[in-house]
Structure 1
Amino acid sequence: MASSIATSSLRAAPADVEHPPDIEGLTAEEVLAYSVDRFHPGLKVACSFQKEASVIMHMLLQIEPDAKFFTLDTGLFFPETYETWKALEARYGIEIESAHGGMSLARQEALHGPEFWNRDPEACCGIRKVKPMREALVGCGAWVTGLRRDQSPTRANAPKLGWDKKHGLWKVAPLAEWTDRDVWNYIVEHDIPYNELHDRGYASIGCTPCTQAGAGREGRWSGTGRLECGLH
């Protein structure tokens, strides 16, 4: 880990929100080591079961074997995504927390009608992702995301460490400056389980009804103009 970050900054009070420690020069491994040092055990990793999540899991568990992972289980994952979930738990001997917000798909249909995601994808994401995310992060000081700057214009300026106003805690993006090739090279080098949908043209993977094959995030909520689900 780089020695340029003073130890005193690791336990900084919320006063550093406007001027957070500059960790842009750190590698992904160093960003995670910094985050563990500063926030663990109040650090959680959001696991989407896309290839970036596989990389972060492998990397972080070498730094902190007791790292915490959770996923927003909407009940609408692809079968391949559930298989990836099981494969990662088996590979690393961990249990990934399932955050689902308490509303079943049957209850959602009873309240809002069938295929609510087609009529109001923003509200559906609010129920199945945003609310469970908020609940999963209660008591945490930071969460880790696999977003990369080259994935979409909305992510182009994402910092490696920034204050998440939406959730009231720090957001860590260790792979922010990585490219798609960087991610694949790491997966191949370490023989890491990954979601096989990536091999079928799905660059970004979410819920079954709202995800199609495509580059970047163009396959998400296709035709709606949406690029994000409300978590970022």
Structure 2
Amino acid sequence: MTAFDLTKAQNELQQKNPRIILRTALENFDNIAISFSGAEDVVLIDMALKIRPDIQVFTLDTGRLHPETYRFIEKVRKHYKIDIEVLTPDREKLDELVKNKGLFSFYEDGHQECCGIRKVEPLRRKLAQLDAWITGQRKDQSLDTRSDLPKVQLDSAFSTDDKKLIKFNPLANWSSAQVWDYIEAYQVPYNELHEKGFTSIGCEPCTRPVLPNQHERSGRWWWESDHKKECGLHVDNVKK
């Protein structure tokens, strides 16, 4: 396999459709995986399996997900007959947080510490084993943090001095409507919470349904400022 030319890929892929971006990613990296949590990610799984049936898929179990989300993970596993690696938090770090601050400290001091333990640390462990990963991020999910989202990038948050990690965002230019058009057209499984007013779905204590005409991520960490709502998985999106 030849060395991956990031600059060339960025120039060539920026206006390409998701299938071409996925094909490029899977042809250039053997050690690559799809991060799965929401509707966009299942669209990518549906597309990727037509290119590489053995694509790695992983998901984060924070221990605080909705019951519907656990059922959704199992629905996707059975529908596509794939293995889904379920990542969990470090028990000692989680025990210490709960012992010292209780189960709902994020309502008082922000979500970053809890997300750091329940999401970021398990993700960091997984990404250390990969050369590249694929996400379902879209530009219009957040004008504050994702408006400049490229189709492919160096993941500055999880790269190290010894190893550079590449991140692909094939759906960057898609709208929510395009995602749901695909889901309907190809009968892709989705989280039943979407039928209850939820648009962007995270942990149960930190997610609520949105009202008509509200932005899709307004139901995430609603007690905090509307700006820079990232849990740390895509912290490189936050403008310095």
TM-score when scaled to structure 2? 0.86
Query: What does residue 210 of structure 1 align with?
Result: 206
Aligned to 1:11: 2
Give distance in 2, aligned partners of 1:134 and 1:177.
26
Aligned residues: 219
**Distance across 1 between alignment mates of 2:84 and 2:133:** 14
Give 1:26's aligned residue.
16
Query: 1:28·1:174 contact (CA, 8 Å) conserved in 2?
Result: yes
Question: Which residue in the other structure is 1:102 paired with?
Answer: 90
The runs of 5 or more residues in structure 1 that have no matched partner are 1-9
- Equivalent of 2:120 in 120, 123, 130: 130
1:72 to 60, 67, 71: 60
Residue type at the aligned position of 2:126: A
- For 2:67, give the aligned amino acid: P
User: Which residue is equivalent to 1:3?
Assistant: none
Q: Is residue 180 from structure 1 mapped to residue 176 from structure 2 by the alignment?
A: yes
The alpha-carbon distance between structure 1 residues 21 and 180, as it changes in their structure 2 partners (threshold 3 A), is closer
Retained in 1: the 8 A contact 2:32–2:132?
A: yes
Asked if 2 retains the 8 angstrom alpha-carbon contact of 1:141 and 1:170, the reply is yes
State whether structure 2 residue 113 is matched by structure 1 residue 117.
no
Letter in structure 2 aligned against 1:217 = R
Give the aligned partner of residue 224 of structure 1: 224
- The residue that corresponds to 1:139 in the other structure is 129
Partner SS state of residue 162, structure 1: strand
Matched, 1:35 2:25: yes
Q: Tell me whether 164-173 or 211-220 shows the greater mean CA deviation.
A: 211-220
Q: Partners of 1:86 and 1:166 in 2: how far apart? A: 30
Percent identical pairs in the alignment equals 39
Task: Give 1:21 deviation, angstroms.
Answer: 3.7
TM-score (norm 1): 0.88
**In 2, distance between residues paired with 1:19 and 1:229?**
30
Compute the displacement of 1:143 (Å).
0.9
Q: In 2, are the aligned partners of 1:211 and 1:220 still within 8 Å (CA)? A: yes
Letter in 2 for 1:223: W
Give the corresponding residue for 1:201.
197
Provide the C-alpha distance between the structure 2 equivalents of 1:142 and 1:231, rounded to a whole number of angstroms. 14
CA RMSD in angstroms comes to 1.7
Q: Deviations over 1:12-71 (max 9, x none)?
A: 35xx5566542112210110000001112x1111111x1101111111111111100111
Unaligned runs of at least 5 residues, structure 2: 160-164, 235-240
SS of the equivalent of 1:143 reads: strand
Residue 161 of structure 1 corresponds to 152
